[in-house]
Structure 1
Amino acid sequence: MPAPAPAAPTLAPVGDNPVLLWGMTAHERLRRIAAAQGFGFEAVDAPSTILSDLGHVFDPAWTAYLRSRPGTVLTRGRRPILAHVAAPDVPATRAAMTAGAPLPAHLTLLPAEREEGIFNESLRKRERPFAEPLVPATVPAIERASYVGAYKGVTDLLTLYLWPGWAFALTRIAARIGLSPNGVTAIGTVLCIVATVAFWHGWFWTGLATGLAFMVLDTVDGKLARCTITSSRLGNAWDHGIDLVHPPIWWWAWATGCAAYGRPLDDRLFWMTMAAMLFGYVVQRLIEGAFIVRFGMHIHVWERFDSRFRLVTARRNPNMVILFAALVIGRPDWGIVAVAVWTTLSLVVHLVRLVQAVVRKQRGVPIVSWLA
């Protein structure tokens, strides 16, 4: 029989700290990290423990990183703030955190300030997680750092440049008033449905305004879940399900609404447009999934070109920019046709990139992320 997997370390707080971060005490935040990452919490009989100084706060990526690295101590300004140690080393390490006593000499020190950061195995990229003192004066900067760090991938132009400030402010408000990520998703779902109805009836400006609010909240719910460490299977399924289903419904509603607006598409053009958009949308998602299965990473983080193309590829947000521009000149019909054309071109780009990756792999060239 195979040997049983080693027990997960216990995550144990050291000290206390009344300062709130995202509406949580440091102790409550640590408890949520333990629950989310499968650690024990405050157990006294664990063979190994990750001690956490509550005078500091850190990106959860650090505990995930230290999990498989016993004997490692994360330091900030030479002070130990996280330490994965065996049971015999717990008292001395705790004393080092609380009273400045020396650490056991055999432990390996890992400065949080080091330039190279750490490699995130799940995302196949290198990153520099934050680890900072938690005092009232540092809370705004830490909340911003944790917010920025909550999104681990590459994204589109609007999410990257237009509404980070709006989404950050709304995320802070939601955390302060105790609104859950699922509550934000529920509000967004209603707005998504309202936008669909507006597009269908040709009320395009109303639909765009409502859709914009939904798109911002679509960022907020995920950020809120990560920042407050309250992700759930229901929330993930709900959020990703809405994200997956609604874009082609919006495009269909927009094309239908062109008639009510006074710019109808003739039947042949309508069905050609819908076929191109639906086919392109589905196949592009399949290509992205195939890339993940074959190469263990998203196609958008393969090379610099792929990350840059993700800014404008035919996903919902860039498509909405096209529709907005067309509506400004009073031609929503041109807009939906342009989205169909751009969807087709984006599909071709993704297909070419998948084939190129397969060919390079067959030639023995490793496929790795340029962000690693």
Structure 2
Amino acid sequence: MSQLLSTNLGPVRLIGDNATPIWGMSNAERNRRMAQSAAKNGSQLAPGHELLFNLAYAFDPLLLNLVLDTPGTLFTWGDAPIVGQVAQGADPLSAPHVVDLSDGRQLYNRQLRKLEQPMVRELTPASRREIERRSYFGAYKGVTDLLTKYLWPELALVLTRIAAQLRMTPNMVSVIGVTLCVVATFLFAKGLYWTGFLSGFIFMVLDTVDGKLARCTITSSKWGNVIDHGVDLVHPPFWWYFWGTGLVYWGLALSDETFAFIMTAVIAGYVLQRVIEGLFLRSFKMHIHVWRRFDSQFRLITARRNPNMVILFVALLAGRPDIGLVALAWWTIISLIVHAVRLAQAYAMRASGRPVVSWMDEAEAALEGQRA
């Protein structure tokens, strides 16, 4: 049994049927959204080809991206076709490039910066919650900060499930988060650090939830991405500035000279780190944090918002929010130096004729070599 859909991407064939919902929608609707999202991002099927989905299975969206990049590719689980871009009307298993994922192979997800075995699982009432869990964690970046990676994933999973069941859109979650971000800024300015921390913590968790909700329900939007990434990019310097002005309420106000040094360090350091990351991406077509294992590990603690909040939290526990801000400034300077050195080393490596390649690409190539 199969049905043919007409989408902006091209013809889409759904094999079988499945009444088990996933993230509050049918598997057919999930696959349709994935196809429509790919079309919005500029993907098209090759002439004479159709996109094939097997409704009996749920799979990582990475597989769809890969089959759209390479016409004639079909991913299977044993003899069962899962997703592929195949010739219209032909036997899917006769596709020129059939990849059986049941051998446990790992693939590199460039968007999420991680090497992993993509999720493929038969979707049944018994497996639904585990599939949702795996698809949620599959949407996590492999290279990120320590709080996002280790502290709140389980909490964010619960909130993502609740939001999906309530039919909330990612933009709704973002609006709540942005409001709390502004509230935290105001509270920091008044020296109400603990209350500000609570507001900021909820915002930081929701900053994870809106992205995961968008990926899991396939409801990403252009403006949603602008809001999410725009707020992430802009708000940290305001937090550090108003944290500094709020010290007066604790009787710990910094001298004008010290405050000016700290603000110069945290703002200039933050901007320059972003510039370095942009230069690296433009020059080497990959994020600086996936070059070597060291870079991926350093991303856990580099001077971004979440690691910086850990510094301020520890200082606040000690009753010295002023020392926390000074420590944050010096950590920003150290992180900036590390990034600048790594950028210079990459340019030197390329100048010497050696390729600048991600350690994840090398690991994936090694695994393919072992299979060959």
TM over 0.5, shorter chain: yes
The residue that corresponds to 1:15 in the other structure is 16
Distance (Å, rounded) in 2 between the aligned partners of 1:360 and 1:275 = 32
Distance (Å, rounded) in 1 between the aligned partners of 2:227 and 2:302 = 24
Contact 1:112 1:130 in 2 (8 A): no
Contact 1:277 1:340 in 2 (8 A): yes
The residue that corresponds to 2:227 in the other structure is 238
Deviation at 1:46, TM superposition (A): 6.8
Distance (Å, rounded) in 2 between the aligned partners of 1:121 and 1:215 = 24
Distance (Å, rounded) in 1 between the aligned partners of 2:216 and 2:32 = 14
Q: Percent identity?
A: 52
1:260 matched to 2:249? The reply is yes
Counterpart of 2:85 in 1: which secondary structure? Answer: strand
User: Which of the residues 164, 170, 193 maps onto 1:204?
Assistant: 193
User: Which of the residues 338, 362, 366 maps onto 1:349?
Assistant: 338
Deviation at 1:8, TM superposition (A): 5.5
Distance (Å, rounded) in 1 between the aligned partners of 2:343 and 2:190 = 39
| Partner AA of 1:13 in structure 2 | L
User: Which of the residues 330, 338, 349 maps onto 1:360?
Assistant: 349
| Partner AA of 1:67 in structure 2 | L
Larger displacement relative to structure 2 (119-128 or 18-27): 119-128
Counterpart of 2:102 in 1: which secondary structure? Answer: coil
| Partner AA of 1:144 in structure 2 | R
The residue that corresponds to 1:339 in the other structure is 328
1:174 matched to 2:163? The reply is yes
- What stretches of structure 1 move > 6 A for 4+ residues in a row? none
1:50-129 pair list within 5 angstroms: 50-89=51-90, 92-93=91-92, 103-104=93-94, 107-120=96-109, 126-129=115-118
Query: Normalising to structure 1: TM-score of the pair?
Result: 0.90
Q: What is the CA deviation profile of residues 269-301 of structure 1, one whole-angstrom value per residue up to 9, with x for unaligned ones?
A: 111111111110110110011100000011011
Deviation at 1:123, TM superposition (A): 6.3
| Structure 1: segments with no counterpart, 5+ residues | 1-6, 94-102
Distance (Å, rounded) in 1 between the aligned partners of 2:173 and 2:327 = 32
Counterpart of 2:103 in 1: which secondary structure? Answer: coil
Deviation at 1:18, TM superposition (A): 1.3
Counterpart of 1:136 in 2: which secondary structure? Answer: coil
Change (3 A) 1:85 1:245: same
| Partner AA of 1:55 in structure 2 | A
User: Which of the residues 319, 330, 342 maps onto 1:330?
Assistant: 319
Distance (Å, rounded) in 2 between the aligned partners of 1:32 and 1:63 = 12
Distance (Å, rounded) in 1 between the aligned partners of 2:301 and 2:108 = 27
Counterpart of 1:300 in 2: which secondary structure? Answer: helix
Counterpart of 1:49 in 2: which secondary structure? Answer: strand
Contact 1:9 1:47 in 2 (8 A): no
The residue that corresponds to 1:190 in the other structure is 179
Query: Normalising to structure 2: TM-score of the pair?
Result: 0.90
Change (3 A) 1:52 1:345: same
1:47 matched to 2:60? The reply is no
Distance (Å, rounded) in 2 between the aligned partners of 1:88 and 1:39 = 26
Q: What is the CA deviation profile of residues 331-355 of structure 1, one whole-angstrom value per residue up to 9, with x for unaligned ones?
A: 1110101100100110000000000
Larger displacement relative to structure 2 (70-79 or 291-300): 70-79
| Partner AA of 2:132 in structure 1 | E
Deviation at 1:120, TM superposition (A): 4.0
Larger displacement relative to structure 2 (109-118 or 282-291): 109-118
Number of residue pairs aligned between Structure 1 and Structure 2: 350
**Please, what is the CA RMSD of the aligned residues?**
2.0
| Structure 2: segments with no counterpart, 5+ residues | 1-7, 362-372
